[in-house]
Each structure stands twice: as C-alpha cells, then as structure tokens.
Amino acid sequence: MNTERLLILLAEDDDGHASLIRRNLKRAGVINDVIRVNDGQEALDYLNNLRRQTTAEAHVPLLMLLDINMPRVSGLEVLRDVKADPRTSLIPVIMLTTTDDPREVHRCYEAGCSVYLTKPVQYEQFVEAIKRLGLFLEIIKAPTASVGQVLPE
Amino acid sequence: MVPGSNVPLSVATAGLLEVAEDAIITVDVERNIVLFNRGAEKIFGYQRGEVVGKKLEILLPERFRLAHVQQVRNFAEGPTIARLMGERRNVYGLRKDGTEFPADVSISKMHVQDTLYLTAIVRDVSERYRAEQAIRQLNAELEQRVIERTAALAETNRQLLLKSQENETFVYSVSHDLRSPLVNLEGFSKELRLTAEELRELLSDPSVPASIRSQAERLITVDMFESLGFIEAAVARLGRIIDALLRLSRLGRVEYHWQWVDVHDLVTRIVSALQASLSQKSAEVRIITDLPQAWGDPTALEQVFGNLIGNAVKYLEPSRAGLVEIGYQPAQGTSPGAYFVRDNGMGIAGNHLPQLFRAFQRLHPQVAEGEGMGLAIVHRIVERHGGKIWVDSQLGVGTTFYVSLPPPPENERGVR
C-alpha cells in the first residue's frame, strides 16, 4: 500500500449517521481527511475520477466506508465495482449497515468487504477495525487527554 | 327316463329349455338355426318361426359377422367341447328391431346321431353393463373432483405462501427503515451525554462561581440525564421490538433441515438448562411420559419447546409451589397425538385466548420482560411444520399448551 496520505471516503445518505461516524472516527484517533459523498452514485463518480489519474500499477490510497442502504446505487454495488477493477481492488472497504442480517453480512464478505460494522458504530469498533486492517492511518496512538476524559463508560 | 319317474329325459330337458331365462340357440355346422327357445324369443324379439332355418349371423351386429363365421368353424373343428365366448372382448347381440345389446355367450358342441350341433347360451347383460358403466362414470367423476379439489388446495396454499412471504418482506423492509432513525436517536443521545460530561468538566474550572456551578451541575445530572435516560430506554425498547420483528420475518425465510428429531432428548436438555433458575423459584419441571420423535427442523423445534417451557416457568403463580409437566398424549378419536406443556401457573383469562398467538401481545407485562413475540414465533414455526398448536387454560389454575406435528411426507417414511 502507498504510504502517501490516506483519504477516507465516506458514502452515507443520512446526515446524522455521517456526523456520528465522523465524530467516532475522531474519537478513535483517526485524523485523516474524510470526504463524504451522499450516495453510491457519487461514490462511483469519485472513484472513476481517481482511476483516470491512476496508472494500473499504482493503487489508490483510500479507505472506503460504505453505507449499504443508499438511494440510486447501493453500497454493495459500489463494493462490487471497487473489487472488480485492479486499480481499486486493494482498497479496504468497511461496510456500514443498520442490520446484522446474516444473509447481508454474507453477501458483503462474499463481495470482498474487509470489515462489516453495524450502526451506530462506536469509536472502539473503529479502533478495532483499523487495527485489523493494519492501515497506515494517521492515528494518534493514545487518545488525547481531553478525549480520554470524556469517554468514561 | 328321468330317474324315479316315467318322464322321458328328452321331454324333461325340452321343458327346461322353455323355462330358461337365457336364450338357447342351436345351429348345425352350416350355422343354420335349428332350435330357438322362448328365452331367445324374449331377448332377440324374433318368433321361433322367423329364425329357424336362417343363418345364426342374423343375430349378430354386421361388424362381427365375418369373423364370427371363422370362429364357429374353428370351434366346430377344434377339440374344445365348450367355452365361454368373448373372454377377450365384449360380445354383442342384434335384436330384431336393429338394437344391440351386450351379451355373455357360452358355446358347446353335441353330436346327435353323428350330426354335429352347436348350442349357444346367450344372456342379455345390458343391466349389468349399465351398472358397470355408471360405476365407471362415477369413479371418473370422483377422480376428476379429487383432481380439481387438489388443484384448488394447491392454489390456496400457494396464495397463502405468497401472502406470508409478502408480509415477511414487508416486515423486513419496514424494520430496516425503522432502524435508520433509531441509529440517530441512539447515537446522538450518546453524543449528548458526552457533551454533558464535557460541560461538567468546564464547570469544574475554579473561575466558575460556586452557585452557578451547583445549579448547572444539577441541571446536567438531574434534568438532562433523566431526560436522556428516558430517551435511551425508549430507544432500547424500540430496538428490541424491531429486532423481534426481524426475527419473526426471518422465520418464514430461514431454510429448514428436515429430519427425525429426538424430542425427548431435546426437552431434557432444555429442562436441565433451566434448573439454575428453577431452584430460586421453588418450582419443578418434569417430563412425565416418553416423548416420541418428531419430523421437523431441530433448531425450530427447540425454539418451540424452549419457549413453551420457558413461558410456563416464567408465569408460575408465586403463591404456590410451581409444577411444569411435559408429556405426550396419544391420538384419541379425531384429536391427533400431541405434546403438551402443563403448568399450575397464573392461567390465562378466556377473553385473552384469541390474541394469544399474535405478535406483541403481552398478558402479564408486570411479571416478566419481553416483546410479546414468543408465542407468535412458536405459532409460526408449528404452522410451517404443518402442525397445530392449541391451549387449555383456566385463570388462577394453570395452562396447558398442546402441539401436534404431522408425520413426514410419504417419501420420507422409513428414514427413521
């Protein structure tokens, strides 16, 4: 994987969900830029734009967070598109959904997703997922003092 | 002579010929009719004088005549003395008025002073024939009706299945959609709690006047946290209801692994898993008869018995020692054999029984937690097994649930 600054592409149609995800990523210590798109089609547009600037050998430095239920193009369709193209097939994809329906989980892993998370996603889950992916994320290893204190739980 | 009388045998047999109901017709080898009894007159409608000396074929429908001539010759020259005609196909006679009738015919040879005669005994079997036809017709109609009814049933079944699938799809998508706003409610209540904690932190700054600090502290910890507590409890409850709905909708879609299930073993496992909670309640759960095997899905059947036994224990009457008995009641008359779970618990009022198996019905919400899905799920499972579930209950005395499960389809028998 490329070590240049990794971007996070978040495809989420619900503003509330998007805001919660941003907050929890931040709490998990992730300070990479998050680009949010509103549905699957916008995610595909973004990807196609990136592909035009990428040669076959270079991999796109991106982490994708895809909501499944989105208007126009679903997260699952975006996932399939990502995995079908060698320029993007190595992009780690985290699927976000409101249900733990085993069939849906199965479909996502079958299509090649890296992690499947059920909303609302807590920051601990993001930490865990990022660890598992072994990503070169710009994570602040220890939560900052203020963050540590506001998460007593 | 007829033994014991002075009547010559020929006279006696001639009398017999005349009283016989059957047609008795004798021909020579050239098939000329030489004898035609009264029975023959009645059956064929000819007077004796009209046919004696004529060829036998006039008594046969046109289409049989050619073959008949050959058959008579073969019989006359063959070794057989007597036989029944038409063993391989129906034989018909032709009346004087041109109508035909189905007939039983037997034929025999006799020699009278070196001359060979052939005698046919003919019985009109129109009546029997008509009766047989009627039975055949009736059978065919019955068969047709059975086919029609079966098709109608299959269609109804298909419609029902379609409807329940539609329902389940609907429930599935609704619960999916309900979850999205719930995620916001849950997530942002948590955010509010975090923000409140941060506020408290700010308030601890020494520059904040003590009176403001204590007032604000109270607003946060009492008012705000109480409000948040209610929101969180409501959200959690809504989440459980949606989960329950999803479970119910999944029931119809999950694939069953049909097999013989050792119900006795299954119930024994459920009961021993319950033991811990039983000792606290001073209750006893007993299996009182052998529980026969059932044809079904083991996981689904475990859910059925787990739910029924769990309910029985949950709703025991605290004022007396609880007793839950599980057994099997063999078929009696029209009622099928059934497993039963009997308790001496609180019982269910008669007016509540009709809603018992519906989703979200809770009869004793103060006694135990739950979403009121258990019996709806049990009902759905028993239904998918093609079985029946029913209940006997008396308020304050106890409840018995019965579950009957049908035998496996014909092609699965003997797998046991």
Q: What separation in angstroms does the CA of A113 have from each of A65, A75, A104, A118?
A: 10, 11, 12, 14
Peptide bond into B209 cis (omega under 30): no
Q: DSSP character for B297?
A: -
Across B189-204, average pLDDT: 91
In this structure, of A1-5, A6-10, B15-19, the range with the lowest mean pLDDT score is: A1-5
Residue B416 has pLDDT above 60, yes or no: no
Q: Which of B113, B120, B45 is nearest to B85 (CA)?
A: B120
Contacts of A52 (CB under 8 A, 6+ apart): none
Q: What residues of chain B lie within 8 A of the CB of A71, using their CB?
A: none
Classify B4 in phi/psi space as left (phi over 0), alpha (psi -120 to 50) or beta.
left
**Torsion, CA A70, CA A73, CA A79, CA A84, rounded to 10:** 180
Among A116-130, B190-204, B242-256, B355-369, name the one with the lowest average pLDDT.
B355-369
Looking at residue A43, what is its pLDDT? Answer: 93
Give the pLDDT mean for B240-258.
77
Quick one: closest CA in B to A16, which residue? Answer: B184
- Average pLDDT of the residues of chain B: 85
Q: Which among A12, A13, A15, A20 is the top mutation candidate for probing chain B, defined by the most B β-carbons within 10 Å of its own β-carbon?
A: A20
What number is the average pLDDT over the span A79-105? 86
Q: Which pLDDT belongs to residue A152?
A: 37
Res. B161: pLDDT tops 90 = no
Of all residues in chain B, the percent with pLDDT exceeding 90 is: 32
Kindly tell me if the per-residue pLDDT of A136 is higher than 90.
Answer: no
Is the CB of B188 less than 8 angstroms away from the CB of A20?
Answer: yes
User: B280 CA to chain A: closest CA distance, Å?
Assistant: 32
Residues of B in contact with A152 (CB under 8 A): 197
Q: Indicate the pLDDT class of residue A151, thresholds 50, 70 and 90.
A: very low
Classify residue B256 by its DSSP letter.
P
Residue A21: what pLDDT? 92
Backbone φ and ψ for A141, nearest 5 degrees, come out as -55, -55
pLDDT digits (tens, 9 = 90+) for A39-48: 999 999 998 8
The answer to whether B245 and B377 have CB atoms below 8 angstroms apart is: no
Contact A92, A114 (CB under 8 A): yes
More confident residue, A63 or A58: A63
Residue B286: exposure state from Cβ atoms within 10 A (0-12, 13-18, ≥19): exposed
Give the separation between CA A29 and CA B16, rounded to whole angstroms: 122
- How far A54 CA lies from chain B's nearest CA (Å)? 36
C-alpha B73/C-alpha B87 separation (Å) is 18
Rg (CA), chain B: 44
DSSP β-ladder status, B398-404 and B338-343? antiparallel
Among A35-44, A95-104, B204-213, the range with the most confident prediction by mean pLDDT is: A35-44
Q: How confident is the model at residue A4 (pLDDT cuts 50, 70, 90)?
A: low
A126 pLDDT band (50/70/90 cuts)? Answer: confident
CA distances from B9 to B14, B117, B157 (A): 8, 19, 75
Nearest residue, CB atoms, A16 vs list B188, B190, B198: B188
Please say if the pLDDT value at position B114 is more than 80. yes
**What pLDDT shows up at residue A28?**
84
- Answer for the pair B235, B182: CB distance below 8 angstroms, yes or no: yes
Which long-range contacts link B3-11 to residues 24+ away (Cβ below 8 Å)? none
**Chain B residues in contact with A120 (beta carbon < 8 A):** 183, 186-187, 190
Could you tell me if B59 and B70 are in contact, meaning their C-beta atoms sit under 8 angstroms apart? no
Q: Would you say residue A149 has pLDDT above 60? A: no
Candidates A39, A40, A94; CA nearest to A62 is A94
Backbone angles phi, psi at A62, to 5 degrees: -150, 145
Write out residues 60-89 of A within 8 Å (CB-CB) of B: 69
Do the Cβ atoms of B168 and B232 come closer than 8 Å?
A: no
Is the Cβ pair A99, B184 closer than 8 Å? no
* String of DSSP letters for A38-80: SSHHHHHHHHHHHHHT--SSSPP-EEEEEESS-SSS-HHHHHH
Where does residue A3 rank: exposed (0-12), middle (13-18), buried (19+ CB within 10 A)?
exposed
C-beta of residue B192 within 8 angstroms of C-beta of residue B220: no
Give the helix ranges, DSSP H, for A9-152. Answer: 15-27, 40-52, 75-84, 102-110, 123-133, 145-150
pLDDT higher than threshold 90 for residue B84: no
| B292 has pLDDT over 70 | yes
Question: What is the predicted pLDDT for the residue at A72?
Answer: 87
* Average pLDDT rounded to a whole number, residues B114-120: 88
A151 touches B at CB < 8 Å:
yes
165-224 in chain B: CB under 8 A from chain A: 175-176, 179-180, 182-184, 186-188, 190-191, 194, 197-198, 201
Report pLDDT for A142. Answer: 39
CB pairs below 8 Å between A and B: how many? 46
pLDDT tens-place string over residues B332-382: 888 889 999 999 988 888 877 777 887 666 666 666 666 677 888 899 899
Q: Which of A120, A150, A151 sits opposite B187 (nearest CB)?
A: A120
Check if the interface score ipTM surpasses 0.85. Answer: no
Say if the Cβ atoms of B250 and A23 lie within 8 Å. no
pLDDT value at residue B412: 64
